[in-house]
Amino acid sequence: MSSIPIPAGSLFGVDNLPYGVFSTPDSAPRVGVRVGDSVVDLSRIFPGDDVFAAPSLNAFMAQGRPRWDETRSALVELVRRGVADDAVFPVPEVRLHLPIEVADYVDFYASEHHAANLGRLFRPQNPEPLLPNWKHLPVGYHGRSGTVVVSGVDVVRPCGQRKGPNDAAPVFGPTVRLDIEAELGFVVGVGSAMGARIGPDEFADHCFGAVVLNDWSARDIQAWEYVPLGPNLGKSFATSVSPWVVPLAALDAARIATPLQCPEPLPYLRGEQQWGLDIELEVEWNGQLVSRPPYAQMYWSPAQMLAHLTVNGAATRTGDLLGSGTVSGPGVRQRGAFIEMTWGGAKPVRIGDAHRTFVEDGDEIAISATAPGPHGTRIGFGEVRTRILPATGEP
């Protein structure tokens, strides 16, 4: 039995305790919690509890908020008192896996700055960059859960149809405008029955925690296909997430009001609790920091996203993943997508010795996030890091 060293200023102290799924060369995937630079094996800390011996967090998440709170309190005490040596593994010596079985994936469009920038890019003739519905509801689309992957999994450049403004007809081939979207993802722990609704003030009873998310986007494929039904192949090829799920309880110190919402949302989107979040993301392109998107600027809160998702009676399930949509602020170096940062490719960004617009083969993108913790501390989400591989052969 020994204490776990937590370096000064660590983003993974007892105020955080994010959950993940890990394995070692001689063992199967199971649930762990990160403490400092170590992973604590919960299947050894809580022997006989099958939910922690499982290869995903889903069984634990499905037990509900009282169990989440009870386990978190127990972990805080265990970490402070000391943990059995055979339950502690250095982070570099383990393999991290996708932490949840993703049931459904819905991606929203909650940043006013991002939506307005894309409106100016795609509809320059319109005096108002936002579409008429945007300030009345959290716009979203249904994605593919089967192509959500964890940090470290390479992504192959997608192929599809695209048609440029000067092309007489559509052509098929690899995307030439591969982009990122720096987001947060919110994980549903306890679902809701078909026909039921989840109000904004019920958010903490249903949302288990949050991850960093990169919603990869093939902008040329997307532009040709999305009218009239929205994104499909331009988005469905891959979505990358960080391996650590930060519990919602760890984000109490980060909770703030959303920006002023005008006009006032309809009653089903109003709540007494504040679910804006003061979280700062960072985007690195081949090791170079290029953007710091501020989640505090997001117009729609995750509680409003979940309320909107269920207001029509749609069921939710353990493992549902809600993407926030691109996180962008008012500054150029606060934009969470390269299409915004380079203004559709017209204003390249200097990366190393080259000027770049969109993601090229061999590029590595890393997105990380931190948030305020208690007493002036900060907590971390870790990162989602992905390398792009060349497209495979044509069909």
- Binding residue numbers: 107, 109, 123, 181, 183, 215, 222, 226, 235, 239, 326
Which of 100, 103, 13 shows the shortest CA–CA distance to 60? 100
- Which of 97, 113, 114, 375 is catalytic? The answer is 114
Residue numbers belonging to the annotated binding site for Ca(2+): 107, 181, 183, 215
A 10 A CB-CB count for 372 gives 20
- Asked if 392 and 156 count as a contact pair (C-beta separation under 8 A), the reply is yes
- Annotated binding-site residues for Mg(2+) read 215, 235, 239
Asked whether the bond before 7 is cis by omega within 30 degrees of 0, the reply is no
CA angle 158, 159, 165 (to 5 degrees): 115
Q: How many Å apart are CA 127 and CA 355, to the nearest integer? A: 31
Amino acid 328 reads S
Task: Judge whether 114 counts as a catalytic residue.
Answer: yes
Amino acid at 332: V
Dihedral angle computed from the Cα positions of residues 299, 303, 309 and 313, in that order, rounded to the nearest 10 degrees: -140
The annotation places the binding site for substrate at: 109, 123, 222, 226, 326
DSSP output for 61-73: HTT-HHHHHHHHH
Residue pair 178/298 in contact (Cβ under 8 Å)? The answer is: no
CA dihedral 303, 312, 104, 387 (to 10 degrees): -60
Q: Which residues are catalytic?
A: 114
